[in-house]
Amino acid sequence: MPNEKLTFLYPRSHYLHRPVPTEVSATYSEPLDIDRIKEFDSFIITGAPIDHLAFHDVEYIEEIRCLLQELDKQRKQQLYFCWGAMATMNYFYGIRKRILAEKIFSIFPHLIIEPHPLLDGLSQGFIAPHARYAKMDKEQIMQDPRLVINSVDDNGHLFMVLSEEKPEQNFIFSHIEYGRTGLRDEYQREIAAHPDRHYKKPDNYSMSSPLFQWKDTQKTFFDNWLKQVEKSKLVLN
């Protein structure tokens, strides 16, 4: 996205009583300011390594919910990844989160069930990585007329869900934003945080010489996303 200006934000309430870590301040440039949301053309809420926690146990969940209320009011394009998708889908639609017996940590081929502009140019069997300890209740989603499952992997894991009544909301359960070493980096972060624990290594992925198997998926998807943002700007303006 060479011509796009990106602003990285972190929740203020996450660092109320402690300094912002160097690795965060080096990447995320500003604390979240709800009053500034109207300045942005679109918004992305990423994943976080907290999918094992109940939503009410996340220390900054109320700040996130205030953000979601404002985004809903603004009706700008919204893209939610992994935990961001889980928290948002639970907040707006009451979809339950289920803790998995084993982490989904692999690269999978995917099926397109319902076409969508964000999936344009992706073929049946497109490749994308998954990394999470929880999932959203798929049966509950299927029974909710407000929600549509657009794509799943070949094991039935959710890839993309959208809202029929709020088409600006897009829920992505894959980490297609990860770079080539993203799955390895995640594994190494877990080992560094808790070296006494056993962690599953990613399947279908070489830890010593990882391949960027989802590079084309990533480029196609985000090119489509930017087109959606431009269309949305024209409508809103």
- Could you give the 3-state DSSP secondary structure of residue 134? strand
Q: What's the pLDDT score for residue 84?
A: 96
CATH for 146: 3.40.50.880
How many domains, in total, are found in the chain?
1
Q: Report yes or no on 82 lying in a domain.
A: yes
Determine whether 102 is an active site residue: no
Q: What's the pLDDT score for residue 1?
A: 47
Q: What's the pLDDT score for residue 85?
A: 97
Global confidence as pTM: 0.92
Q: Report yes or no on 69 lying in a domain.
A: yes
Q: What's the pLDDT score for residue 134?
A: 97
Which of 116, 130, 157, 175 is flagged as catalytic?
A: 175
Q: Which among 62, 79, 69, 86 has a CA at the least distance from the CA of 116? A: 79
Q: Report yes or no on 183 lying in a domain.
A: yes
Q: Report yes or no on 188 lying in a domain.
A: yes
**Residue 204, Ramachandran bin (φ over 0: left; ψ between -120 and 50: alpha; else beta):** left
Q: Which structural domain range is residue 78 located in?
A: 9-236
Determine whether 82 is an active site residue: yes
Q: Report yes or no on 25 lying in a domain.
A: yes
Residue 8, CB-side half-sphere exposure with 13 Å CA sphere: 8
Strand 30-31 with 126-136, pairing? unpaired
Q: Report yes or no on 1 lying in a domain.
A: no
Q: Report yes or no on 4 lying in a domain.
A: no
> Tokens 């979240």 sit at which residue?
32
Which of 14, 82, 116, 168 is flagged as catalytic?
A: 82
**Cα 197 to Cα 4, 98, 102, 210, distances in angstroms:** 41, 22, 14, 23
Residue type, 174: S
What single DSSP character describes residue 37?
G
Q: What's the pLDDT score for residue 236?
A: 62
Cβ neighbors of 177 (< 8 A, separation 6 or more) are 46, 81, 218
Q: What's the pLDDT score for residue 139?
A: 97
Which of 110, 130, 177, 186 is flagged as catalytic?
A: 177
Tokens, residue 64: 């996130």
Q: What's the pLDDT score for residue 184?
A: 97
**Cα 83 to Cα 53, 136, 167, 174, distances in angstroms:** 10, 10, 19, 10
Tokens, residue 136: 């959203």
Q: What's the pLDDT score for residue 80?
A: 97
- Could you give the 3-state DSSP secondary structure of residue 207? coil
- Mean pLDDT for back-to-back runs of 10 residues, the chain (237 residues): 74 77 70 89 92 93 94 93 97 97 96 97 98 97 98 97 95 97 96 92 96 98 94 73
Determine whether 177 is an active site residue: yes
Q: Report yes or no on 182 lying in a domain.
A: yes
